[in-house]
Structure 1
C-alpha cells in the first residue's frame, strides 16, 4: 500500500520537528552551529516541497536556497509557536509564488524535463511500482492541485493535518477529505497500472481483416 511505502513514522517526524525547532530558536540567538544544523535538518524537505509545488526544475535549488536566506533573515521573528518545519515551508511556498509572479511578466524559456524528473532523485526508492518503472511521483501528477498538495504535505513531507490546514488556509476536515480522495485515486491508478495487458501473439497481427469466402487465405 502507498502508506506503508512512505518515509518516517509520525513519532520520528515529531522528534525531528522538535529538534529542528530547537535549533531554529538557538540560531535566532546567534548560534552559528545551530543555524547550520537547522538548515541541514530541513533542507531535503524544502527541496522536495518546492519541487512538488511545480517550480521550474532548473530553479528548484535556487528557490530552496532563497527559502533559507529568507528564513535566516527572519529568524528574529520566529517564536516557536508552530514547528520550524511548518514555518519554513510557508516561506518556501511564498518563494515559489513569487517566482511564478516573476515568470508571468517575462518570456518563459523552454526546458526538456518536468518537475517529476527533477525531484525523483530526492525520493526514496521502494515506492510502489518503482521496480516496474511506475513512480509515485508520476501518479501524483494525475491528482488535482489541491489534493496533490494535501497528500504531499501530510504523506510525503510528514506534516500533521493541522499543520497542512494552516499552510493551505483551509479547515482540517478539508485536508482530511482531500488526502482520502487522493489515496483512493492513487490506489486505483496503481491497480490499473499493474494490471497485465492483453497478450498478443508475436507471430500473428493484433487485428486481421476477415477473409472473404472463396478468397485465398
Structure 2
C-alpha cells in the first residue's frame, strides 16, 4: 500500500537553526585559514549541494563535477563571505550559479548524456526514509512531473529545510511566490500519491452479444 505522506508543510523560523549557526561559524573560521574548519564546512554541506545540483541540472553525469566546481568557487570566495546570510544559503547560491553557467556552456556546445534526466543522480543523493517513499514509489519520480520552479521551491524548503525567506533569496523572487509554489507543488504531489494509491478501475470489456 502506498502511503500518501509528504514532508510536513510549515515555514521554519526566520532565525537560523543551530546547525546553520555551526556551518556559518566554520565558514568564517575557514576564511581565516583554519584547515579543520574548511573540512567541517565541506563535509557539512556536501550532501545538500549534491542534492540541490541534481535537481537543477539536466545531466546526471555532471552532478559531481558541478558540486566540485561549487566548492572550488566557494573556497576561492571565502574571503568575501561576511556571515550576513547563512553559509548554507550562500553556498547554494553559488551552486545555482555554477549550474546556470554549465547550462549556458552546454547550450553553446551541446554534448549527449547517457541518461535522460536528473532523477538517477538525485536518487543516489537522496537519503532513505524520507516521507513519500513506500512500496518502491519514490517521491523523486513524482517531483519530475512538477514545473521546474515549483520543484526547486519544494526541494529547497521541504527537502533541504531552508526558510522560505532564504529560498526566495536564492530563487530571486518574493517570499509569497515561494509559498505559492510550494503549496501548488504539495497539492500536485498529494494528488499524484492519492492517484497511485487508488488507481481508476479499468474499463470492463464490452459484453458479448448472445448467440
Normalising by structure 1, what TM-score?
Answer: 0.86
Give the conservation status (yes or no) of the 8 Å contact 1:127–1:135: no
Q: Which stretches in structure 2 are left out of the alignment for 5+ residues?
A: none
**Alpha-carbon distance between aligned partners in 1 of 2:72 and 2:50, rounded to the nearest angstrom:** 14
Of structures 1 and 2, the one with the larger relative CO (CA 8 A, separation 6+) is 2
Aligned: 1:34 with 2:60: no
Name 2:205's counterpart in structure 1: 207
Name 1:141's counterpart in structure 2: 144
| Deviation for aligned residue 1:196 | 4.5
Aligned-residue Cα RMSD (Å) equals 2.2
Measured against aligned partners, the alpha-carbon deviations of 1:61-119 in whole angstroms (never above 9, x if no partner) come to: 01000000000000000000000000000000010001101111113213135311111
State the 4+ residue runs in structure 1 displaced beyond 6 angstroms: none
Which structure would you say has the larger Rg? Answer: 1
Give the conservation status (yes or no) of the 8 Å contact 1:55–1:96: no
Of the candidates 39, 53, 57, which is equivalent to residue 54 of structure 1? 57
**Alpha-carbon distance between aligned partners in 1 of 2:130 and 2:37, rounded to the nearest angstrom:** 33
Greater Cα offset, 18-27 or 138-147? 138-147
Q: Which stretches in structure 1 are left out of the alignment for 5+ residues?
A: 201-205
| Deviation for aligned residue 1:197 | 5.3
**What is the count of residue pairs matched by the alignment?**
204
Give the conservation status (yes or no) of the 8 Å contact 2:50–2:64: yes
| Deviation for aligned residue 1:4 | 4.5
Cα 1:148–1:86, aligned 2, differ >3 Å: closer, same or farther?
Answer: same
Map 1:31-180; keep pairs closer than 5 Å: 31-180=34-183
Normalising by structure 2, what TM-score?
Answer: 0.89
**Alpha-carbon distance between aligned partners in 1 of 2:149 and 2:43, rounded to the nearest angstrom:** 28
Cα 1:126–1:197, aligned 2, differ >3 Å: closer, same or farther?
Answer: farther
